[in-house]
């Protein structure tokens, strides 16, 4: 809890985090949970999610609180030469530099990879933005909805449901954030071996195309194939929570044994041993038909009756849970997934827990999400700036320090 020393596998790693909204902050929060010293470098206005409601105090919205813990805030105007030079001084001793600003803008500020490599050859510099710099979409603005449409996700919703739709979570941001975290971690391993840092690019568009298509590439996998894309099981019209007598359940027989036991349990012995059920390839071709059988059977019993039966025959099933249910879930309660945390300015808050568990280097929750500029002075002092120079930056409005 608050005040704990860093114990995670990234303890001792310093990260300069020039990201905002969700993609970068989600990745760097996990780095912070895992022990890294994450310095969140914000504009004088601060991360836009600070003022996404609800909040107890302006500038400390719940979205911001949930992706910015275990970080310190340095608020500065990077267009100011003195502030930029101060950041470059901090970069000399940093291990990782992460930016979600478009590369052309970073180069104009004198904060591109080539600029930082000259002062710190060991630096891992990660650019996480919309599109790769190597293609014709380079430099285009991008947010989660835009990438969901561009990568094919909206189209797959259209194929399955007859209407284009966005996912009900910011999946492009968070998937790319996880890829960003993975890429940085592997670059740190490479640096341990070579002693040299490198540039890492993690674009949203390519990340989501890669995320979607291991299963959806299908016939286009073969250059001489039929070119048909889309994984039939996932796109089957009856692949959805099944209506019971009093609600809905999620149910997924998957193996031949599970399908056979399920079909016998609902009185369909006539097809339980049919080749199109027992043979994996035939079952794949007929999966929409099997899902229709499930959809037609489930209204006959209550959710509790079905869940008891599925537990008895060892077929994967769970109730459809809402967030309110998850806050009371016995499994999540037992593992302490929703810890209460005494935030330094917001009082007691509930955290979204860290799901990764290490046996000897556990994650920790040491610091709540910072107020804008809460740590500006202390960070600049650590970076070697003299007190008069810091005072000059503060007086000029180039750096903001929270009172």
Question: What is the DSSP secondary-structure string of 233-273?
Answer: HHH-TT-SPEE-SSSEEEE---SHHHHHHHHHHTT-HHHHT
Token digits of residue 5: 């020393």
What pTM value is reported for the model?
0.94
Among 303, 311, 352, which Cα is nearest to 332's?
A: 352
Q: How far apart are the first and last CA of the chain?
A: 24
Are residues 75 and 372 in contact, defined by beta-carbon separation less than 8 angstroms? yes
Tens of pLDDT, residue by residue, the chain (403 residues): 455 789 999 999 999 999 999 999 999 999 999 999 999 999 999 999 999 999 999 999 999 999 999 999 999 999 999 999 999 999 999 999 999 999 999 999 999 999 999 999 999 999 999 999 999 999 999 999 999 999 999 999 999 999 999 999 999 999 999 999 999 999 999 999 999 999 999 999 999 999 999 999 999 999 998 999 999 999 999 999 999 999 999 999 999 999 999 999 999 999 999 999 999 999 999 999 999 999 999 999 999 999 999 999 999 999 999 999 999 999 999 999 999 999 999 999 999 999 999 999 999 999 999 999 999 999 999 999 999 999 999 999 999 999 8
CB neighbours of residue 374 within 10 Å: 23
Query: At which residue do the structure tokens 């490198």 appear?
Result: 198
CA atoms within a 13 Å half-sphere pointing along the CA-CB vector of 262: 26
Cα-trace Rg, the chain: 25
Q: Beta strands 340-343 and 347-350: pairing type?
A: antiparallel
């Amino acid at each position: 809890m608050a005040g704990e020393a860093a114990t995670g596998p990234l303890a001792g790693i310093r990260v300069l985090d020039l990201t905002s909204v969700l993609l970068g902050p989600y990745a760097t929060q996990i780095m912070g949970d895992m022990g890294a010293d994450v310095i969140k470098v914000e504009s004088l206005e601060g991360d836009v999610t600070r003022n996404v409601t609800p909040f107890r105090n302006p500038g400390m919205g719940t979205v911001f609180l949930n992706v910015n813990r275990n970080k310190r805030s340095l608020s500065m105007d990077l267009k100011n030469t003195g502030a930029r030079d101060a950041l470059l001084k901090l970069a000399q001793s940093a291990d990782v530099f992460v930016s979600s600003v478009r590369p052309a803008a970073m180069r104009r500020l004198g904060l591109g990879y080539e600029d930082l490599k000259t002062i710190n050859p060991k630096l891992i510099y990660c650019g996480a933005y919309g599109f790769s710099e190597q293609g014709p979409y380079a430099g285009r603005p991008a947010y989660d909805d835009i990438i969901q449409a561009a990568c094919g996700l909206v189209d797959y919703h259209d194929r399955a449901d007859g209407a284009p739709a966005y996912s009900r979570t910011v999946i492009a941001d968070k998937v790319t954030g996880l890829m960003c975290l993975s890429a940085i971690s592997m670059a740190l391993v490479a640096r341990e071996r070579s002693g040299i840092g490198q540039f890492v690019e993690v674009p949203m568009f390519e990340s989501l195309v890669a995320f979607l298509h291991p299963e959806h590439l299908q016939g286009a996998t073969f250059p001489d194939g039929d070119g048909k894309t889309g994984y039939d099981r996932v796109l089957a019209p009856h692949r959805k929570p099944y209506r019971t007598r009093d609600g809905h359940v999620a149910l997924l027989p998957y193996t031949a044994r599970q399908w056979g036991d399920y079909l016998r349990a609902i009185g369909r012995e006539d097809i339980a041993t049919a080749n199109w059920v027992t043979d994996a390839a035939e079952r794949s071709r007929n999966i929409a038909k099997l899902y229709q059988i499930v959809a037609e059977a489930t209204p006959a019993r209550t959710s509790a009756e079905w869940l008891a039966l599925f537990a008895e025959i060892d077929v994967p099933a769970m109730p459809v849970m809402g967030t309110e249910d998850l806050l009371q879930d016995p499994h999540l309660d037992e593992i302490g997934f929703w810890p209460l945390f005494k935030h330094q300015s917001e009082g007691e808050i509930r955290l979204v827990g860290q799901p990764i568990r290490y046996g000897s280097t556990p994650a920790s929750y040491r610091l709540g999400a910072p107020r804008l500029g809460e740590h500006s002075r202390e960070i600049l002092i650590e970076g070697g700036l003299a007190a008069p120079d810091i005072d000059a930056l503060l007086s000029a409005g180039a750096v903001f320090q929270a009172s």
